[in-house]
A = this chain, B = another copy of it.
Amino acid sequence: MPEEKEITIYDIARLLNISPTTVSRGLKDHPTINIKTRKKIAEVARQLGYRSNTFASSLRSKRTQTLGVIVPRLNSSFMSSVLAGMENAASKEGYNLIIAQSLEQADKEMENVMTMFNKRVDGLLVSLAHSSENVRHFDVFFNKKIPVIFFDRVASHPDSTSIIIDNFTAAYQVTRHLIMQGHKRIMHLGGNMLLNVYSERLRGYKQALQDHKLHFDEKLVMSGNLTEECGTDIAIQLLKLKPKDRPEAVFCANDTAAVYCMIALRNAGVNIPEDIAFAGFNNDPISRVIEPNLTTVNYPGYNMGQAAVAGLASHLNGDTNITNMNTIVLRSELIIRASSGKRK
């Protein structure tokens, strides 16, 4: 590639026959510089392809106006909403986002953390990988007091803030709704129970059963990676049972597993909700396309992304001290649709 000489304020100054100081002030819209001169400077800067010297100014201010985002996977409906919300807030606050995915692997997450650290991000936004058993790899950030915000899949740490929904209450509401519809033998399909989101949903399910004097049967709790294949596998297992031995309702910890379980059951002639009722979690687009539409929990991914970046920006600007906040809980909402219909 051809090397091009970088345009400096000296080039602009020479061309306009003014001092470099005037150019520098003009580019920063300094009020001591005549507005006509400021316009002329901006015009010449644009023509020459001048780039403000972010590196040098970063070295001075120790700030890069960049936030790091580490997520398990970029290609999920939930995560794409989160990212859209984050970008929206970052753009308003004058920050750029650097993104990386851990692919659910702890060692990839550790690598990502070091990359973000060496990139000198001003703050970090993280949803933890499945296989991350602790958060010691974030110590480089904690030690330097660079703020870290965990969202969705979080870990408790004295120096970080977590943004979550109340997974316990949301799952409690789903289970109570299924009970109110007349279902008694309710199965729960959960995810990796080492992650807060799934262990809390299981806890909400159990509590609802207990509060409604229903027996908790361990055999009715299964867990998996909640993919399309996982949903289909569960359907195959249910179909192996005699109809009278099958659960009356299934509460899945995400919509993907619920929807593909429903499709496989429906293809085998099982009626939903008459034979088995269903509820999911997330309110993904597929939950409104599956027939019957899936009862689910609206998980406000876009709002979560916005709140995380706005909180971080406000902390970095010195407006609020986010390290005083242990946890921020966003509202979620039970959405009742046809899949959880009344038992006859």
The chain A residues found within 8 Å of chain B, CB to CB, are 1-4, 6, 46, 49, 51-52, 54-56, 58-59, 62, 66, 73-77, 79-81, 83-84, 87-88, 91, 96-101, 115, 117-120, 140, 143-145, 259, 263, 285-286, 289-291, 302, 315-316, 318
Contact = CB atoms under 8 A, between A and B. Distances in A.
20 contacts: A1-B145, A4-B144, A4-B145, A49-B140, A55-B58, A55-B120, A56-B59, A74-B83, A75-B80, A75-B84, A75-B302, A77-B80, A87-B101, A96-B98, A96-B115, A96-B119, A98-B98, A263-B289, A285-B285, A285-B286
Given A285-B286, A289-B263, A84 B74 contact: yes
A336 to B, nearest CB: 18
Contact of A54 (B4, B80, B100, B119): B119
Contacts of A56: 59
Contacts of A73: 84
Contacts of A54: 118-120
B96 A83 contact: no
Q: What copy number does this chain have within its complex?
A: 2
A176 B62 CA distance: 60
A116 B94 CA distance: 12
A62 B100 contact: no
A141 to B, nearest CB: 9
A168 B259 CA distance: 34
A259 B98 CA distance: 34
A58 B119 CA distance: 11
A83 to B, nearest CB: 5
Nearest to A47: B143
Given A74-B87, A99-B87, A51 B118 contact: yes
Contacts of A115: 96
Contacts of A315: 1
A86 B120 CA distance: 22
A101 B84 contact: yes
Contacts of A117: 51
A62 B53 CA distance: 12
A56 B58 CA distance: 10
Contacts of A2: 145
Which residue among A3, A52, A62, A74 has the maximum number of chain B CB atoms within 10 Å of its CB?
Answer: A74
Contacts of A119: 54, 96
A4 to B, nearest CB: 5
A4 B140 CA distance: 13
Contacts of A120: 51, 54-55
Nearest to A302: B75
Contacts of A91: 100-101
A316 B318 CA distance: 39
Contact of A66 (B6, B77, B98, B100): B98
